[in-house]
Amino acid sequence: MSDFDRTAEYVQHHTEEEGKKQRKTIWVVFWLLLGITGLEVTLGLYWKDFGIAWSFVKWTFILLTLIKAYYIVAYYMHLKHEFKSFIYMALAPYIVLAIYLVIMVLIEAIYINEVDKFL
């Protein structure tokens, strides 16, 4: 069993040039995510000093979080180069959950608004 070596098979499919390109991509994504996180932290700490409306800050956080989620799922979870059907299958439960949560928030908001009318 010790003479079973897959090094030749690995070397055949993975060149050093591909490895350098993949490492560079990972570092670019890392710095991009770090920059977005730094922007979020700065915005969260100093939004009043910048004179920005809170609703704008909230929507900016949501947008930046979605961008970060895309890059994490695409590059660090390796879904960027998968078949589209597999990507949709992996993301479908999260999309359904998000829609469910939005519906629940809207139902609760309507309920609270109706209850406040009677008080």
What pLDDT, on the 0 to 100 scale, is given for residue 112?
74
Report residue 37 as tokens. 């996180």
Burial class (CB in 10 A: 0-12, 13-18, 19+), 47: middle
Determine the straight-line distance between the first and last CA of the chain, rounded to whole angstroms. Answer: 78
Extended beta strands in the chain, E state: none
| Between residues 101 and 114, the one the model is more confident about | 101
DSSP for residue 2: T
For the stretch 2-15, pLDDT in tens is: 566 666 666 666 77
pLDDT digits (tens, 9 = 90+) for 20-38: 888 899 999 999 999 999 9
Does residue 104 have a pLDDT over 70? yes
- Mean pLDDT over 41-66 rounds to 92
